[in-house]
Amino acid sequence: MASRRSLLAGAALLSAPRSASAQAWPTRPVRIMVPYSPGGQADTVIRLLQPKITEFLGQPLVLENRPGAGGSIAAGIVAGAPADGYTLLFDSFPFAVQPLIQRSITFNYETAFAPVGQVVALPYVLVVKRDFPANDVPSFIAAAKARNGAAYGTPGIASLGHLAGALLAARAGISMEHVPYRGGTDAARDVAAGNLDSAIATASTLRPLILEGHARGIALTSGERRGTLSDLPTFAESGFPGFDLTSWNGLLAPAATPAPVIARLEAALRHATTDEATRQRLIASGNDPVTEPAAAFGERIRRDREIVRQLIRDTGLRLE
C-alpha cells in the first residue's frame, strides 16, 4: 500500500506541471501566420479581431504575413511548429483546396492541423455587366446558351469564384469560360468597363459596382442569404438545391495542440466575434461574423474539401 501511494504521488507530481502550464497558457506573445498580403481580406479580418483576442488572452498577437504558393508557405511553417499554441494559422477557403491541387507539399493538410474556430463567412456573388441580358439565374443561363457561353472573371485559379462558376456550368449544362485575375478588384474593373460578361467574387468586392449601377447582381453562392447582399437570391433557391460555396476565415493550430489550449483559443475567438463593436466593423468590411467552434469548423473544412473533390471528379476541372 505504501509503495502504491508513493507511485501515485509521483505520478501526480509528474502530471502537475503540464496541467498547470495548460491553465496558465499563454505566458508569452502568440504568433499568427497569415498566408496573404497585408491589406487583403484575411489580413483585414484578423486585424479587426486582434484587440479583443489580445484582451482575452492577456498576451500580444504577433501577425506575420507570409503570402505565396497558394497559402502553403505559411501553412508549412505552422505545420512544422511545436504544438504548444504559440504558432497559429489564420486561413480561408483555399486551405480546403490546396491539398487537392499541389503535388509538392511536404506536409499533410488533412492531418497536420487542429481546427480552432471559424470567425466570418464570406459569400461570393455572380454579377453581370450592364448590357448582359440577365436579371436572374434562369435568364443568365438562357443568355449563356444563346451566346454559346459566357466569360466570368474571378480572383484566380482554384478560388471559390472559379469553383462556383465550374459548378454552375456543370449543373446548368452551359459553357462558361474562366478568366482568372490576380484579385477580385481587377475582375470587377473589367465588368464595370463592359469588357467582361460577368464575375464571381466576394460580395465586399462587387457590391460597390451593384450600388453604383456598373453591374447587376444575379445570385449568391452561399447556401443561404447572408452578408451585405442578402437581398439577392442564392443559386440554391434559384433552381440548384444544395449549391453552397461559402468562403470563410478561421484559426487553426498544429495537430496535437493540447485540448485546454484549443479551448482557450476558441473562447478568445468567441469573445472577439461576439463583441458588438467588432461585429459592426466586420460587417462594414463585407464579412458576415459567425461563431463556429472547433468541431463544427473542422466539419466545414471536410465538407468543402469533399465538394471540391466531387467537382473535380464530375467535371474533370483542372485547378493548376
DSSP letters of 87-111? EEEEEETHHHHHHHH-S--SS-TTT
CATH 3.40.190.10 for domain 122-245, yes or no, is: yes
Do 171 and 316 form a contact (C-beta atoms < 8 A)?
Answer: no
Determine the residue type at 55.
Answer: E
List the domain boundaries for the chain.
29-120+247-313, 122-245
pTM value surpassing 0.85: no
In the structure, what pLDDT confidence band is assigned to residue 132 with cuts at 50, 70 and 90?
A: very high
Q: Averaging pLDDT over each range in 191-200, 226-235, 305-314, which range is the top one?
A: 191-200
CA 182 to each of CA 25, 64, 152, 158, 187: distance values in angstroms, whole numbers, following the listed order: 40, 21, 14, 12, 8
Pair 29, 61: CB distance under 8 Å: yes
Digit-coded pLDDT (tens) for 57-85: 999 999 999 988 878 999 999 999 999 99
> Between residues 320 and 70, which one has the greater pLDDT?
70
Among candidate residues 155, 179, 160, the one with its CA nearest the CA of residue 40: 155
User: What CATH architecture does domain 29-120+247-313 belong to?
Assistant: 3-Layer(aba) Sandwich (3.40)
Instruction: Check if the beta carbon of residue 232 is closer than 8 Å to that of residue 108.
Output: no
Helix (H, G, I), strand (E, B), or coil: what is residue 178? strand
Tens-place pLDDT, residues 296-319: 999 999 999 998 888 888 777 777
Out of 4-18, 56-70, 228-242, least confident range: 4-18
Say which DSSP state 242 is in. Answer: T
Local confidence band at 9 (pLDDT 50, 70, 90 cut-offs): very low
Is there a common fold for 29-120+247-313 and 122-245?
A: yes
Dist CA 304 CA 248 (whole Å):
11
pLDDT tens track for 249-281:
999 999 999 999 999 999 999 999 999 999 999
At 20 the pLDDT is 36
